[in-house]
Amino acid sequence: MANSFIIISGDPLVEGGVPPVVVIGPAPTAGMVIAALDPLTAEWSDVSSGTVVMGGAVGGTAAATTINLTGNASISGTLDAARLPTITIAGDVTGTTAAAVVVNIQGNQVLSGALGASQDGYVLTWHNASSQWQALPDVDAGGAITLTGDVTGSSSSNHVISITGGSGVVNVAATGNVITWAAATTAPGLAQVAATGTTGANLTITPQSGTVAGGNVTGGDLVVSLQEGTGTGTESGLSIQHNGVAQVRLAGAKGYSTYGNIWLGSTAASPTENNWTLQGSGTVTYGGGTTWILPNLLASSDATSNLGSASARWGSLFAMNVILGSTILNDVTATAVTTTNATLTTIYTSAMASSSMNDYVVSVWGLDHTNGDVYRADLAFTYQRIVSAGPTIVGAAAVPLNVRATTNGLTWGGASIAVSSNNILVQVKGIASINIDWKCSVSVATVT
């Protein structure tokens, strides 16, 4: 039947059931089947040899099959992996169909990297600082949040352990806001951790500075607001401590709204209404205690300040040198000057100003502690300086007056006056091999 064909027409059972089909091709052998080439043509094909000639959308042979999608609405079935084509992918997903990787989500990068057991429970989270999607711990897993940094703990139990702020500045925004300790806090404080092996840093509290266009600026005050004591309660105050012991205390005077008190030393640790060191109202200042040592007590201006008053007078005044106006009432040598021989020795020096006159009254005392001998004498004299010339005596030279001494004291050289440059010298002379302690007092009236 080489190159033969068979015409199948109609349906043996139903007239007009199918159109005529022409079967063409070589003579059939065992195992061949009739395969349609198109709706009106078929041929004999050997299925077992894999040389079946395909038709329609499937072309070629069983051994070399092709698929033509043109004009075919769909193809169904399963295509094995080995026959899948290799396609390169770009965009949020990159790589090939065989090895695709999601690198972005909607154009936003996904951080690459391997995840392990230590990342259990992590979730994909947008991390804005890195502009990435990242696998990070779930901060809201079951509603529990763990806080770190200035605030630590969980969302339901946390503590502020530090205050960092922005660039080291913590702003309290609204007017009237204050940092307030709870009433149950027994020892509220503001402190810095100790510095080891170095000088401690200063703690600075700076009130607000003011700036105005006119240039007249008043800055804010540092205000310590304290409660007034009532009943038997004492005034609350500002205490300055040294090693935990109060050394200085400032407070108001109880019962006197315009007075303030200062306690110094031991009284600062246990202040009362009566043991203050200084008390004042701005127009009058009182000194407490029994003894006052004032190395340099200055008036605010000439002839306007009083030291004491007619009803509040000072007790004893201990001074080396008391000057009223330009008159030195009594200048006493602080320590004794000792002579051991008959050499002239200066025990007091008084400098004279140019174009001046000094009138002196001097008393000199000498004491031999070993033998009990004494010497004392007074000297009264006047010197002047004409312009810049040296001092010259006015009237008679100074000679010891009112001399009183023991018998041996009368043998000492005694007291005398000398001039050196622009200085007036009080000098004494002892006796050989005897230790004599000398002192003097000097009163000077100066006219310039």
Mean pLDDT of 313-332: 67
The whole-model pTM stands at 0.43
pLDDT digits (tens, 9 = 90+) for 189-220: 888 888 898 998 888 888 888 877 767 788 88
pLDDT band at 293 (very low <50, low <70, confident <90, very high): low
CA distance 279 to 288: 8
pLDDT digits (tens, 9 = 90+) for 5-37: 555 555 544 455 556 666 666 677 776 776 666
CA distance 293 to 306: 17
Quote the DSSP letter at residue 286: E
CA distance 3 to 286: 146
- Residue 1: its pLDDT value, please? 42
CA distance 40 to 44: 14
CB 427 within 8 A of CB 413: no
pLDDT digits (tens, 9 = 90+) for 101-130: 898 999 999 998 888 998 898 999 999 999
Q: Which domains does the chain have, with CATH numbers?
A: 6-72 (no CATH), 237-287 (no CATH), 323-447 (2.60.40)
Write down the number of H helices and E strands in the chain.
1, 32
- Residue 170: its pLDDT value, please? 76
Q: Is 285 helix (H, G, I), strand (E, B) or coil?
A: strand
Cα 190 → chain centroid: 12
- Residue 3: its pLDDT value, please? 47
